Amino acid sequence: MSIKFSPDHEWINAADAAAAVVGITVHAQDALGDVVFVDLPAVGTTFAKGDVAGVVESVKAAADVYAPVSGEIVEVNEALRDDPSLANSDPLASGWFFKVRLSNPTELDGLLDATGYDALLQSL
């Protein structure tokens, strides 16, 4: 499975059926500027799609990180907590935020593919 995107500028990679990886998009980190702090959810917390699952703060602003799908947090990126700049330097890989066990995998169908997300960005 390829990466999917939410209209709120999160990405999700559900290649691992046990735990999908979630982070913020390149567009989101560009808009925020230098990330200086992340508030990650607690492991074991459950979220519904669209719930606030964390916060990212930069030198410019703070922004909520939304759960792109419903599920339970099974892991958080402690390296990101220690070095929030990973969200800027490598947002689609080492700058991931959390892993979630999907409670409703069909919610992935409602997210955007890369082409759809690019079209969304063009409309902003």
- Tell me phi and psi for residue 70, to 5 degrees: -80, 145
- Residue 58: strand pairing partners: 35
- Taking Cα atoms as reference points, which of 82, 91, 110, 77 lies closest to residue 28? 91
Examine the pLDDT at 1 and tell me if it is beyond 70: no
**What is the fold, at CATH topology level, of the domain defined by 4-123?**
OB fold (Dihydrolipoamide Acetyltransferase, E2P) (2.40.50)
Question: What confidence category does residue 7 fall into, taking pLDDT thresholds of 50, 70 and 90?
Answer: very high
Among candidate residues 121, 123, 124, 122, the one with its CA nearest the CA of residue 5: 121
For the cut 80, the answer to whether the pLDDT of residue 17 exceeds it is: no
Tokens 């082409």 -> residue: 115
Give how far the C-alpha of residue 37 lies from the chain's centroid of Cα atoms, to the nearest Å.
15
Q: Would the pTM count as exceeding 0.85?
A: yes
Assess contact for 37 and 56: CB atoms under 8 A. yes
Q: Where are the domains of the chain?
A: 4-123
